[in-house]
Each structure stands twice: as C-alpha cells, then as structure tokens.
Structure 1
C-alpha cells in the first residue's frame, strides 16, 4: 500500500464531490417524473443501508482494501477473481464518467474540439495527480469543495431569481402513486451514485482517524442526497418535467435560460466548471481504486508504474464503449440495473454474512474451550 494518510476533512470533501459527480448535471431520478426529488430521497435511504454493509466489513478488516478482504472471505482463488471483477468495474465507471464529461464539453463550449483530445488531456491530468499520491488528491479536494459550493450557491440563486422557476410544476404530489418513485429509487438511484461509493473501500485503510468513518460517510450521503433532490426539483420547476425528460443535461439547460436585465446571461460555464470538478474527483477515485486493486492482486511494488497503462485503457474505453451518446446512456441504464446490483449489493452482503457466521463460530469455539 501507498504510505499516506488521509484526514477526515479530506475524506468528506472527496466523498461529497464524488457523490455529486454527473448526477448533479443529468436528469437524475427523472424516471419518477415530477416525483424525481422523492425518488432521490428514497434512494438516499437505501444508500444508508448500503453504507452499513460496507462499514461493517471495514470494521472487520480496517487495514485491508476491498480487494484484500474479498480474498480473506471467499478464499485465495475465488476471492482473487471477484477482486478483479471490482477492478474492472472501477475502470469501466472511470471511462463512463470521462465520456460524460467529454460529451458535455463538446456539446456546450468546445464544439469543434475532437472528443479524443478532451478525454486524453483530462485523464492525463488525473494520472499526474494520482502519481503524486492520494494525499495530494485529498488536499486538492479540500480546496475545490469550497469553489464547488460557491458555484452551486451562485447558480441556484441566479436560476431562482430568473423568473423561470414555477414550483407548481412539481404538482400534483405522487401523481403516479408511491410505486413509481420507489421503483426508480431502488432500481436506478440507489446504485448511482450511492452504490458507487464502494470505491472508497479502497481508500479507507489510509484514514488517520478510522473511528470517524461512520459519521463522515453518513453525513456525505445525507448532504449530497438532499442537494441532488433539490437540484432535480429546481430543474423541473424551471423547465417542466417533459423538457427535463428529453434533455441530456437539464441543469445546463436550466441555467442557460437565465437572462437578468439582458446583462447576466450565457452562464453555461458554471455548469461546465461544476462538472469538471465533480467528474475529475469521481474519475480519480475510480482510477485510484482500480490501480490499487491491481497492485494488491498482482503484488506489485507501487501504483505509479501502472497509472499510465490503466489511464490509456480508460481513454480507449471512453471512446469505444458506445457509438453515440444516447447509446452510451442506454448502456449505462442496463448496467446499473443488472451488473451493479451484484457488485454493489449482493456480493458485499454475502461477504458480510460469511464474516458474521465465521465470527459467530469462532466465539462459540472460544467459549467452549474456556469452559473446558
């Protein structure tokens, strides 16, 4: 493992920015239509349940990353294969987020710039930061979370005073009943982004105060969940549910409508810069998790020697995973529904059950030996 220590503040900053990711820009939870905000809150509740699964596993193995304790639970060979599965999922998710960011930039500001050029430069910068170490990424997050919050406050204020917002567009409440928001919450919202936070199980061994993980993780889930719910509500109130459903980046569209006194307008840069920050840290965490997983599984000396090769794979995948952006979104929708249910919920839950049963038998054995 890398010889580094991450503070609680740095962990909170990285987790918070990670959780916003692309969810703050896309039509997050819009499958629930006007009740998208409610579906996000339900998903946030499910995210808290997922957290306790990850947290209990961390309590059993506080000094080992996910790829390490999966081998302790399932055995050397089966555990190695499952660990590799997690590494591949981290690489895949890094590539998806790179594609999302590149597409936003090409469609909004750099329309004549090749997508490959944007993705290449973006990943190279991330590789450089990760080459310097996880502590550098943590300190960077401490600075940029302040900038991100200032951008968010500014953007929200301008949209609210633009005159385009009508919260009556959120009515009627539960137009399609409870079933729709609950279905969207536990099929889509739960695993993106709350389930994706499993990537942080690769970073937790670096914490300088591991006892505070519980409070930090829970506070991130609640704060980011409430913020995402508010953003979904504001987008619907500003654009209407039909426009949000059809739009790829509704937040960009909502802030693009702002025109105050024919002077304050063309504020797309706020959304682009917000996504630059959030996706930068999200890709960094996924890429770091993948690299450290490879180091752990293949017993390498350090992570620096494989950063560029894995970064090259991420760039290649981001360009070839889909021929168009709608196809890219559709593919991600199916992946979230099927593949991630296994790696975010079923495998961790099975690991926890196995560990709890083993520890139960160990305690019984100890008590019997004490009696005899």
Structure 2
C-alpha cells in the first residue's frame, strides 16, 4: 500500500459521492412502485447493519485492507483465493458503472459518439488520478462534493418551481402492502449502493484518524440514503409511477420537463454532469480497491505499474459485459444482485466476522 493518509472530511466526500453514484439517475427502487422511497429508506437501514459488520472487522484489523485480513481469518490459501475474487469483483463493478455512464451519454447527449470513445476517455482520466495517489482522489472529492451539492440544490429548485410536481402521485402509501417494499429493499436496495461500500474496507487503513471511521461512514450512509429516497419521491411526483416504471433514466426525464418562462429549459446537462462526477469517483474507488488488493496479494512493490494494464482490462470489460443497455440492466438487476452481490456483501463478510470472533475467543481461552 502507498504511504498516504486521507482526512475524515475527504473520506466522507468519497463515501457520499460513491453512495449516490448511478443510483441517483437509474430506475432505483421502482419494483416497489409508489413506495420506492420507503424501500430505499428500509434499504438504508439494512446498509447500516452491513456497516457494523464491516466496521467490526476493521476494528479487529485496523492496519490491514480486506485482502489482508481475509488471509488472517481463513488462512493463506483460502483467504488468498477469496481476496482475489474480491479484487475481480471490484473491477467488474467499476466496469458496470462506466458502462452506465457511457450508455446515458450516448442515449441522451452524444448519440453519434462511439461508446468506446466515451469509456476510453473516462478510464484514462481515472487511471491518471489514481496514479497520482489516494490523497489526490480525496482532495478532488472535497472540491467536487460542493459542486455536486450546488447542482442538486439547483436541480431540485427548478423542478419544484416548474409546476410539474404533484405529490398525489406518491399516494396512497403502502397501497399494495409491505411485500413489494420488503422484496425491493432486501436484497436489491441494500446491496446497491450500500453494500457496495465494502470496497472502503480497502481504504480505511489510509484514514489519518481511524477513530472517526464509524461516524463518517454512518453519516455518509444516512445522508446519501435520504437524498436517494427524496429523489425517488420527486421523480414519482413529476412522472407518475407508470412513466417512471418505463423510464430508463427517470431523473433525466424529470429534469427534462422543466420549462420556466420558455427560457429556462433543457437542463439535462445537470444530470449528465452529476452522473459524470459520481461515476468518476465510484469507478476510481473500485479500481483503486482492485489495484491495491492485487498489490497486496501478489506482493508487487509499486502499485503504479499495474494501473494502466488494469485500466485497459477495465475498458475491455465495460464494452463486453453486455451487448446492449437493456441486457446490461437485466444482468445488473437480476443475476448480479442474487448470485454475486449477496455473497460478496453479506454472506462472506458475515462468515468472516463470525470466524474472526471464534478464533479470537479460542485464542484467549488457550492463552
């Protein structure tokens, strides 16, 4: 690992932007219908429970990343394999986020631009920032979180004063009972984006004041969860549940309806810039987690020599994971959540924590 430190404010900025990610733009929580915003709040509560699992593991191994303490818990062989699987998973998830951004840009703003050109440009910038180090990524996040909040306040203001908002679209609450809400919240909303924060177990050893990790992580989860819930409620109140269910990017459709005095309109750029910022940081963190994990597992002396080769793999993955955006969404909301996210975010960490507690108990008894 590089010799660097990040502050609590930088970690919060990274976590906050990371959590918003693509969830701010795509159809998030929509299987719950009008109650999507409730499902997101419940998913946030599940994300807080997952945090305590990750945090307890961090407290036991404060100087090690995930790939380090998984070998301490499961032994060098099984732990090494599981650590490698996590690195590959981080790389795969980074590719999915880059594909999200590329497809949004192609469908909304740059229809004549090849997807490869967009993905290539984004990945090269990400590789450059990671090459400069995690401190630079943290400082950049400090600046961009302010811009992101200004975009959010501006976008919300224009939507609210546009006259398109009708909160009757959100009512009645819990119209179809709790079942669709609970099945949407668990595991879908819990794993995306709150479970994805497991990648920060690779970054927590860089925190200059480890005692603040708990407050920072909880505040980031709660604040981003509330914003995602509000965004879902606002999209529903503008578009209605029928249009939102059919919309690929409901936030883009919501802000596209703004037309004030036939002068302030076509505010789609706010959504595009927002997604650019959130995907940039989210993909950077996933790619950095994969690079640091591989460095730790293979005992590479300098992580910088791996950044470009892994970046090239990332570009290839982002182009080949799906033949179309509809297939990409179907894979992400179906196979990905059930068979990949649940084991990596819930089952493996829970098993690690239980094994670690048992090992420490046995060790104390024998001592």
For normalisation by structure 2, the TM-score amounts to 0.99
Give the alignment of 1:87-102 within 5 angstroms. 87-102=87-102
Residue of structure 2 equivalent to 1:335: 336
Quote the Cα distance in structure 1 between the aligned partners of 2:338 and 2:44.
17
Report how far residue 336 of structure 1 moved.
Answer: 1.2
Residue of structure 2 equivalent to 1:73: 73
Residue of structure 2 equivalent to 1:358: 359
Structure 1 residue runs of 4 or more that deviate by more than 3 Å after TM superposition? none
Residue of structure 1 equivalent to 2:35: 35
Report how far residue 187 of structure 1 moved.
Answer: 2.1
Q: SS in structure 2 opposite 1:156?
A: helix
Aligned length: 366
Residue of structure 2 equivalent to 1:346: 347
Give the alignment of 1:1-372 within 5 angstroms. 1-333=1-333, 334-366=335-367
Quote the Cα distance in structure 1 between the aligned partners of 2:314 and 2:235.
31
93-102 vs 353-362, which moves further: 353-362
171-180 vs 6-15, which moves further: 171-180
- Stretches of structure 1 that go unaligned for 5 or more consecutive residues are 367-372
Report how far residue 194 of structure 1 moved.
Answer: 0.3
Report how far residue 365 of structure 1 moved.
Answer: 2.6
Q: Deviations over 1:228-266 (max 9, x none)?
A: 000000000000011111111000000000000000000
Q: SS in structure 2 opposite 1:240?
A: helix
Q: Deviations over 1:256-315 (max 9, x none)?
A: 000000000000000000000000000000000000010001000121101011111111
Report how far residue 362 of structure 1 moved.
Answer: 2.0
For normalisation by structure 1, the TM-score amounts to 0.98
Quote the Cα distance in structure 2 between the aligned partners of 1:161 and 1:241.
21
Report how far residue 364 of structure 1 moved.
Answer: 2.2
Q: SS in structure 2 opposite 1:226?
A: helix
Quote the Cα distance in structure 1 between the aligned partners of 2:338 and 2:149.
31
Quote the Cα distance in structure 2 between the aligned partners of 1:187 and 1:132.
36
- Stretches of structure 2 that go unaligned for 5 or more consecutive residues are none
Quote the Cα distance in structure 2 between the aligned partners of 1:278 and 1:338.
25
Q: Deviations over 1:131-182 (max 9, x none)?
A: 0000000000000000000000000010111111100000111011011111
Quote the Cα distance in structure 2 between the aligned partners of 1:339 and 1:144.
31
Quote the Cα distance in structure 1 between the aligned partners of 2:258 and 2:49.
39
Q: Deviations over 1:308-350 (max 9, x none)?
A: 1111111101111111100000011121122110010000000
Q: Deviations over 1:11-49 (max 9, x none)?
A: 000000000000000111001000000000000000000
Report how far residue 96 of structure 1 moved.
Answer: 0.3
